[in-house]
Amino acid sequence: MYETFLVSMPSGIRYWTVVDDELEVVEEADRFLREVRLARGRAETTTKAYAEAVTLFLRWCAGTGRDWSTAARDIGLFMVWLRWAPGNGGQRQAVVPGPGGTPVRGDARINKVLTAVRMFLLHAVVNKAAPAWVLEQLYELGDDRDLPVEARGESGGMRYRLRARHRLQEPEAEVDRASDEEVVAMLRACRSARDRLIVLLLSRVGLRPGQVAGLHRCDVHLLMDSRSLGCDVEGAHLHVIRRQNVNGAWSKSRKSWVMPVDFLVVQAADQYAVERYEILGEGGSDFLLVNLFRPPYGSPVTTGAIGELCESLSGRAGLGRRVGPRMCRHAMASNVVDAGDTLDEVQALLGQKHPASPRPYLHPDRSRLRAAVERVASPRLTEGEAR
């Protein structure tokens, strides 16, 4: 039986790998996951997701007597196994599908596993650990005619690309935005200045949980003039920087950028600074947000703790649903557009690379949609038609 395993390197970088029954590292899987983490600069959590997917693939190969390097010809059977085979926590160990049975994994989860497995097998082919014909089993040759116009390039000629052969049609699941009323209710349900600052960093600044947990005190410049700190940016702002953090926090964006903040965030940060000093004094780590009410005191909060806080606040505020960090980020982007700002400004504020990236975050206010309809002129008969 294969399992995932967390590796901590002397440099402090961590990644997830795959081990067998003898706790021996699966060499090719480990080489692939090391490349994802070290050479491609992906997050630790990404290697965990990929390691879990590769583990499932290797378990299926071992359980069915297949060689993993050539098992790509039976990916369809692997997909059936994924849908019905329980994980480690399942009581049932056999694959027992049937009428009325409840699938163990949905289409979205299966597609994510297949994506990681394709990347693993592609890496194996490149490194001569799997035969070249495996690519023919995983991909079919496609052209760019089904791509958006902006994704086709400027050459004008038709280009060919590899298209995955195995992919389930999963339903589109849109992430709703948190309403302003929900954000206010969560703020009122907070029991500390630190928690209020976290909610504002999510909903007012639009940071991801990993970016919130990864903020250092030196990243926060709340003066009108920060030149004394060696920073030429005017006004109160935050520096969002991708770095290796001891709490595992990770900024998804590769680039660093400056995020302006308003007086609400400045006021919340001031109140939190007083609260932190009263509890820890000059102690604690260099991270902005640290544990104040449970041990280990002064250690940085984690990304998971921010998600737990949002879930707790949603219940405490009586919202009737869980308002997560991602919904708060969507609220920030939507509010910026509702205020009359443009997509390029949303893109810059969210720290996104591509111009089309902000679109999934936009949820126009219903009053703005109604106003747009009412601005359309009513159809009128011309003088000639009236006769």
Q: Are 15 and 37 in contact (CB under 8 A)?
A: yes
Report DSSP state, residue 301.
P
Q: How far is Cα 359 from Cα 330, in angstroms, rounded to an integer?
A: 10
Angle (deg, nearest 10), helices 303-316 and 193-203:
100
Per-residue model confidence (pLDDT) at position 90 = 47
For range 227-255, the mean pLDDT: 90
Q: Could you give the 3-state DSSP secondary structure of residue 147?
A: coil
Residues 322-359 pLDDT 10s: 999 999 999 898 888 888 877 788 878 878 777 766 67
The helix/strand/coil state of 363 is: coil
User: What phi-psi label fits residue 67: left (phi over 0), alpha (psi between -120 and 50 degrees) or beta?
Assistant: beta
CA 92/CA 375 separation, integer angstroms? 60
pLDDT of residue 86: 79
Q: What is the pLDDT of residues 136-175, one digit of tens each?
A: 899 886 665 655 555 455 555 555 567 788 888 877 666 7
d(CA 356, CA 347): 8
pLDDT tens digits for range 86-130: 766 444 455 555 666 778 888 999 999 999 999 999 999 999 999
Q: What does each C-alpha distance from 123 to 4, 75, 132, 197, 315 come to in angstroms?
A: 19, 17, 11, 43, 45
Task: Report the run of H or E that residue 179 belongs to, with start and end.
Answer: none
Contact status, residue 212 vs residue 199, Cβ threshold 8 Å: no
DSSP secondary structure code for residue 39 in this structure? I
Q: What is the DSSP string of 68-84?
A: GGGGGGGHHHHHHHHHH
Minimal CA–CA distance to 349: which of 262, 224, 225?
262
- Helix-then-strand count for the chain, H and E: 14, 7
Specify the pTM.
Answer: 0.76
